[in-house]
């Protein structure tokens, strides 16, 4: 079988996700961890894992009658870029990151919900697509659906700008094996810019989705607070709560924008 190196396909399936166009719903939730995809077996109807390869696990089912796919991205921009490009090529119309994040404000409690309105482009991969001046912004439609779903659920949530960084240690102000490689004022500089939180995938999703005219957003649970130096060790319940709210937001997105 001859396969193009420039645009590889394997039996009409995406080369990394190993899915075809009929496998993916219009709306795809994007956790980082492949293990979180299986959580949706209990949250959705008829949810089945359809592919698993490297850091990518993909499942598709329905929620309240609306089709939904969930695809893990792995950690960071490069693996996220691959997932986003292949999902859009397969026909995805909306991509919503779901995961955990570290916040920079003491008033945010662990387990609170974080809605990203825009992101600093510090991931790296998106720079191959657009200059640094090109903004990474969430779709208004997705933000509003997430806000309304949070209001309906009665949870504490925060909206703001994320720093989306291609580094977990030095880039987020952590020591690496006892050594400091980062600017000691790094976190203070983020705070001066009124950055709400730090994570590693949002700007890639938001930038690429804007370029290809796809709805996009990010919805995370606060797993860490860098101001109070707290880490949410048992983060499972927060992830389940976040995922349920995200699914309700997906229903709103279908009803308001995708079914017209």
Catalytic annotation present for 151: no
| Neighbour count for residue 20 (Cβ, 10 Å) | 17
- Cβ distance 29 to 217 under 8 Å? no
Residue of 129, 99, 59 lying closest to 217 (CA atoms):
99
Among candidate residues 36, 97, 223, 226, the one labeled active-site is: 226
Q: Where are the beta strands (DSSP E) in 185-260?
A: 195-199, 215-225, 230-231
DSSP label of 142: H
Catalytic annotation present for 174: yes
Catalytic annotation present for 86: yes
Distance CA 116, CA 177 (A): 31
Structure token pair of residue 177: 């094996």
Distance CA 227, CA 224 (A): 9
Structure token pair of residue 100: 């955990």
Q: What share of the chain is helix, strand, coil (3-state, %, to 5)?
A: 35, 30, 35
**Greatest CA separation for the chain:** 58
Catalytic annotation present for 223: no
Any bridge partners for residue 98, and if so which?
A: 219
Among candidate residues 16, 36, 97, 223, the one labeled active-site is: 16
Among candidate residues 86, 201, 203, 248, the one labeled active-site is: 86
Among candidate residues 38, 174, 182, 191, the one labeled active-site is: 174
| Backbone Cα Rg of the chain | 18
Distance CA 143, CA 233 (A): 28
Catalytically active residues, by annotation:
16, 86, 174, 226
């Amino acid at each position: 079988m001859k396969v193009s190196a420039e645009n590889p396909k394997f039996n009409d399936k995406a080369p990394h996700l190993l899915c075809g166009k009929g496998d993916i719903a219009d709306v795809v939730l994007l956790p980082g961890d492949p293990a979180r995809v299986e959580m949706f077996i209990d949250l959705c109807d008829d949810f089945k894992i359809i592919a698993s390869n490297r850091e990518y696990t993909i499942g598709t089912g329905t929620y309240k009658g609306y089709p939904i796919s969930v695809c893990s991205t792995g950690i960071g921009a490069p693996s996220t870029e691959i997932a986003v490009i292949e999902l859009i090529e397969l026909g995805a119309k909306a991509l919503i990151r779901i995961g955990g994040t570290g916040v920079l404000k003491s008033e945010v409690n662990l387990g609170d919900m974080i809605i990203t309105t825009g992101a600093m482009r510090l991931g790296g991969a998106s720079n191959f697509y657009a200059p640094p001046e090109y903004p990474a912004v969430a779709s208004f439609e997705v933000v509003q659906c997430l806000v309304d779903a949070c209001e309906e659920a009665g949870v504490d949530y925060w909206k703001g700008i994320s720093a989306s960084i291609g580094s977990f240690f030095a880039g987020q102000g952590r020591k690496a094996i006892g050594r400091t490689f980062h600017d000691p004022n790094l976190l203070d500089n983020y705070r001066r810019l009124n950055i709400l939180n730090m994570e590693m995938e949002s700007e890639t999703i938001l930038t690429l989705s804007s370029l290809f005219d796809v709805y996009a957003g990010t919805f995370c649970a606060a797993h860490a607070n860098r101001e109070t130096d707290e880490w949410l060790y048992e983060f499972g319940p927060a992830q389940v709560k976040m995922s349920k709210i995200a699914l309700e937001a997906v229903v709103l997105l279908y009803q308001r924008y995708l079914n017209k």
